[in-house]
Structure 1
């Protein structure tokens, strides 16, 4: 196995630079049927798929989100722009958080800011959160570059390793470092969520 580590780093940094989100203005401001919602999500989030046959959103997922109190019910089988935004939040959160944790953090948002005439609504919250996340892209790139450079200094002085074995162990070191970062941040997020009150849902 021969991996060009410099090319790998460049590819990772390029991938981070190209990270984007579904802009609020690109979300239809009309009510959509379920099929239209799944088609929209698949089109907008296609670049985030790891494999071509990965599912972004299915009818079963939407029904489960509503069943588990993550998503307000549709109105006459139609979903609003705010429904779509909540589903986008769920899409990203579910990669690291449990359904229960997602319910805990989203319930105050959907309970107070969903379908409201207030200046602060689900759409404005989404835009603010996304803008903040995008502003952290350079910091994320710097962290990845530092982890890469650190990994390249591991196993350098260990005798008895072939070049290919040393290369793989350095790659393993990079994966481990990035994984620990994810693990630590996930633990921190869960600690914060554990301090939040139990979700209280409005009576339907």
Structure 2
């Protein structure tokens, strides 16, 4: 993404933040699309007027995935606490009182969610949230879209996206053969599901290069 594209998206986010009350911007896309990078850049550019809260903080813990027999599908829709994520979005959308709301984050080094990691003060006008399943219209994910004022869908070159995924898995300790199998298997099944819901987005952002 070049500087002008980022500037245009930042201006769009800044307009949301200027609405006079708390707004929530969602950034959706398939695994490896670049959601977290774009969300972080937008949040940083708004210089204190936005806080980033990731859907990934609602990954189920590894022990719970093992208990449920879902550890080999980590990242699939049913490996998250979707209802908990929706409940947090409701709190963020309608802040009450002077106290901040605390949100979880996902520690990729630990491969675990960590509670209370992100502080959202009540006077911050924009929350930026990113994740794969913001646009899903089924099961416990269905309420999420209605809790977001605007959603951008990242349409990223498939080869670039797959390469990023493999590199990410390797960077956080997975052997490359395992990383390639997981990215081409579970991650791609999730990507196809995400792609089917792109029509529910307000804006499609085409990303071809890092």
Q: Could you tell me the TM-score, scaled by structure 1's length? A: 0.27
Could you tell me the TM-score, scaled by structure 2's length?
Answer: 0.27
Higher helix share: 1
Larger Rg: 1 or 2? 1
